[in-house]
Amino acid sequence: MIYLKSESEIEKLRAAARLVSQTLAVVAKEIRPGVETGALDRIAEEFIVKNNARPAFKGYGSKQNPFPATLCISVNEEVVHGIPGNRTLNEGDIVSVDCGVEKEGYFGDHAFTFMVGECSDQDKKLLRVTLESLYKGIEKSIHGNKTGDIGHAIQSHCEAEDFGVVRDLVGHGIGKSMHEDPSIPNYGKPGRGERLRSGMTLAIEPMITHGTWKVKTLPDKWTIVTADGSKAAHFEHDVVVREGKAEILSTFDYIAEITKIEITETSYG
Ligand code: MG
Ligand code: MG
């Protein structure tokens, strides 16, 4: 079931997305060698609660194994859903921070992969190409296109650089639930899949690796790692499908401001 949103609903989604953007910036400020991922999580939770919202990832999942934290923090070979804890960040790591909030009944869900100190040129390229692919996908998120157009744009951009495109996890609709229809795979064929219509709101999130597209789940039943141990990058934006040009609800501007690193559609790292 796909829910089209009214402008007043989109306004609420915009507020939720903005809070996630601000939370990621608060976290960005603390990312440095030596910091524990659990400390980053506590800072994010405090900030979200202070802003009258709920950390949407906390408690998500099954009763037997609910996600225990506010952020998913995934370091190097971890692709997504890493559980914050006593892992310490090291110089040269790349770390995906994914955050979800529920504010006034609407969800925001977006992510950024940070460099810890100075990273290798190879890793910088992975980050830049993954970020570029996110915007290539967003460019296709317009009324009348299909989900396969988004996936194809992401896949072809990343595979042209010999990077792996993770298939087991995908983007999704977002609204009054964190995960709504349709699924937005990061691979696909132009003209295939679900038709996009104005008022659909989507979370687009390429997950791209240096090596294979194959992934596995760690015994904690959450953390997804690359099957070959290669590093992975992950960026996510929330967007509204519109005629001609999608509207991006989330922003990396707060991160750029705090880190003093330029982040544009074609430059990062
Ligand atoms: Mg998502
Ligand atoms: Mg996310």
CA of 183 to the centre of ligand 2 (A): 13
Query: Which residues lie at CB < 5 A from ion ligand 1?
Result: 109, 203
Q: Looking at residue 187, what is its pLDDT?
A: 98
Q: Are 74 and 232 in contact (CB under 8 A)?
A: yes
Task: Report how far ligand 2's centroid is from the alpha carbon of 243 (Å).
Answer: 25
Give CA–CA dist 175/107, Å, rounded: 6
pLDDT score at 62: 94
8 A C-beta contact, residue 201 and residue 109: no
The predicted model scores a pTM of: 0.97
- Looking at residue 266, its pLDDT comes to 84
Cβ-contact 246, 238 below 8 angstroms? no
pLDDT for position 49:
98
Nearest bound ligand to the CA of residue 80: 2
What pLDDT shows up at residue 267? 79
Measure 190 CA to ligand 1 centroid, in angstroms. 22
Specify the 3-state DSSP secondary structure of 201: strand
The count of structural domains within the chain is 1
101 Cα to the center of ligand 2, angstroms:
10
Specify if 265 maps to a domain: no
Give 109 Cα–ligand 1 centroid separation in angstroms.
5
Walk across the sheet containing 78-80 and list its strands.
78-80, 224-226, 215-217
**What's the token pair of residue 14?**
């915009």
Q: Is residue 238 part of a domain?
A: yes
81 alpha carbon, closest ligand? 2
Q: Which ligand is nearest to the CA of 23?
A: 2
The answer to whether residue 153 is domain-embedded is yes
Q: Is residue 2 part of a domain?
A: no
Q: Which ligand is nearest to the CA of 235?
A: 2
In a domain, 220, yes or no: yes
The stretches in the chain having pLDDT less than 50 are: none
Q: How far is the CA of 143 from the centre of ligand 2 (A)?
A: 23
What distance in angstroms lies between residue 167's CA and the mean position of ligand 1's atoms?
Answer: 14
90 domain-assigned:
yes
- Rounded to the nearest whole angstrom, what is the distance from the C-alpha of residue 202 to the centroid of ligand 1? 9
How remote is the C-alpha of 194 from its chain's centroid?
21
Tell me the pLDDT of the chain averaged across its residues: 97
Q: What is the CATH number of the domain that holds 63?
A: 3.90.230.10
Domain that holds residue 180: 7-259
Max Cα distance, the chain (Å): 48
- Asked if residue 38 belongs to a domain, the reply is yes
Which bound ligand lies closest to the C-alpha atom of 173?
A: 1
127 domain residue, yes or no:
yes
pLDDT given for residue 269 in this prediction:
67
Angle at 190 between CA 142 and CA 122, to 5 degrees: 90
User: In this structure, what token pair is assigned to residue 249?
Assistant: 């609800």
